[in-house]
Amino acid sequence: MKYISTRGQAPALSFEDAVLTGLASDGGLYVPETLPKFDSATIASWAGLSYQDLALEIIKPFIDGALTDSELSAIIEKSYSNFRHPAIAPLVQIDRNEWVLELFQGPTLAFKDFALQFLGNLLDHILAKRNQKVAVMGATSGDTGSAAIVGCAQCENIDIFILHPHGRVSEVQRRQMTSVLAPNVHNIALKGNFDDCQNMVKASFSDQSFLPDGRQLVAVNSINWARIMAQIVYYFYAALALGAPHRPVSFSVPTGNFGDIFAGYLASKMGLPVEQLIIATNANDILHRCISDNDHSKKPLIHSLSPSMDIMVSSNFERLLFDLYGRDGDAISTLMQEFSSGSMTLSESALAKARELFCSHRLADEDMVRVIAEVFDKTGYLLDPHTAIGVEAARVKRKNQETPVVCLATAHPAKFPDAVKRAGQAKDPALPAHMADLFELEERYVVLENAINAVQQYVAGHLSN
Ligand SMILES: *Cc1c(COP(=O)(O)O)cnc(C)c1O
């Protein structure tokens, strides 16, 4: 299967090259040229499969022979072997026909483990076959960095460099990154803010001449196709458990970069009966304004109690736009050109198409903490702040009480003790037992000046042979 750019000007790539490439040369994002489709009988035959076996069925057609079934199966097994729940993604009922899909059973307690465990193992396999080594470089303000580090720590062909703003990430988040002492893991605390970190990474990707010959950078942020692909699996898994394909299911998804919910959109295109996809945003509401008022304009970033959704522009939205505009790369190119001024307007037909499946809701901090408190009072179940936004969005937006709604629980509440305290819980939510010693573990990281030379010298000087 070939992968093509949403802006139509970059060469089509094989699956492996798309995974290694990140952003296309024309500035677009890679998507599969055609989507696999499953009929109802095939989907029905998957009821009761383990998460890993289902993942094999769903991922196989996307890689189209790049790996054998047994290679792919080994990668999947390895990727989910350190999840703490045998169901991998367990469902918990919190009200009538209302469910929470716990996507935080992985090693770093957020849904990003689903994709990054898989991506690390997949990259390592591809690189070993090609006898190649790469450097992963990324900036993080929170969950992505730790998930990427844990996902790559065992990989022999990857050196990983993660920049975080010095003194500006929570202690839990910092320790989750810096307590991984594998020799190929390098945490850089930059004397700057998150934007500075991101600018360092961007500049390094656009001019990689500081690296020795034969070494390249690989992006593991959510524009990497393999991450989206791995996330499609849990939409099928949850829906099958709730009676699909014989009845439809709706999903409510706490949304930042639009990667997670885009995987839900793909699941529906591939044949899963999905009634509604509910985009749940915090005060950083560009997608909510776009879907409800056709106002896709940048606004200053607001720091909320759901920090993993604090983003100004959702990069994966472009992948949806590509479909909404009939897969016309020139149209997307023009649209993104318009957006470089800070704002764009969708065509009436594109917006109407989006609204057939998507709706949206925004929740500010004070309402979000009320939801955590309410759900805890009624059920004893503690939501994390991101998930709480999804639960409220589902309650406001679902149009059919007979259709089960699944709220994606994107993080464990112990990752965000501030919000939980604001919701009136007297003490910090406990870290799961396997992480109870997090505050005693040794840490390793380097503090660097906010200067591109310092960062690039450090990276070039710490590559393995
Ligand atoms: C990354 C993240 C999100 C947002 O997911 P996107 O794919 O960027 O939309 C939501 N919640 C948590 C906890 C996250 O870590």
Amino acid at 370: R
Q: Which of 104, 257, 258 to mutate to test the pocket of ligand 1 (most atoms within 8 A of CB)?
A: 257
> Does residue 397 have an active-site annotation?
no
Q: Which atom of ligand 1 is nearest to the CA of 415?
A: 13
φ/ψ of 102, rounded to 5, equals -80, 100
pTM of the entire predicted model = 0.96
Q: Which of 113, 225, 260 to mutate to test the pocket of ligand 1 (most atoms within 8 A of CB)?
A: 260
Q: What is the pLDDT of residue 428?
A: 76
Share of the chain above pLDDT 70, in %: 100
Residue 406 lies in a domain: yes
- The one catalytic residue in 112, 129, 202, 399 is 112
Summarised one tens digit per residue, pLDDT across range 104-140 is: 999 999 999 999 999 999 999 999 999 999 999 999 8
The residue-averaged pLDDT of 314-325 equals: 97
Judge whether residue 424 has pLDDT over 90: no
Overall domain count for the chain: 1
Query: What are 217's two structure tokens?
Result: 């950078």
Instruction: Give the integer Cα–Cα distance in Å for 197 and 163.
Output: 6
Residue 191 lies in a domain: no
Q: How far is the CA of 70 from the centre of ligand 1 (A)?
A: 31
Residue 455 lies in a domain: no
Nearest CA to ligand 1 atom 11: 410
Q: How far is the CA of 230 from the centre of ligand 1 (A)?
A: 15
φ/ψ of 405, rounded to 5, equals -115, 130
Q: Which of 104, 318, 386, 391 to mutate to test the pocket of ligand 1 (most atoms within 8 A of CB)?
A: 386
- Which residues have C-beta atoms less than 6 Å from ligand 1? 110, 112, 143, 222, 254-260, 308-309, 386, 410-411
Q: Side-chain half-sphere of 220: how many Cα atoms within 13 Å?
A: 35
Residue 192 lies in a domain: no
Closest by CA position to 106, among listed 97, 95, 119, 124: 119
Residue range(s) defining the domain that contains residue 410? 86-110+225-422
Residue 212 lies in a domain: no
Summarised one tens digit per residue, pLDDT across range 426-450 is: 677 888 888 889 999 999 999 999 9
Q: What is the CATH number of the domain that holds 357?
A: 3.40.50.1100
Q: What is the pLDDT of residue 373?
A: 95
Residue 355 lies in a domain: yes
Nearest CA to ligand 1 atom 1: 308
Helix (H) or strand (E) run with residue 361 in it: strand 358-362
Nearest CA to ligand 1 atom 8: 257
Summarised one tens digit per residue, pLDDT across range 292-303 is: 999 999 999 898
Residue 304 lies in a domain: yes
Q: Which atom of ligand 1 is nearest to the CA of 143?
A: 15
Instruction: Give the integer Cα–Cα distance in Å for 115 and 151.
Output: 9
Residue 408 lies in a domain: yes
Closest by CA position to 184, among listed 451, 454, 459: 459
**Residue 65 φ/ψ region, left for φ over 0, alpha for ψ in the -120 to 50 degree band, beta for the rest:** left
Q: How far is the CA of 259 from the centre of ligand 1 (A)?
A: 8
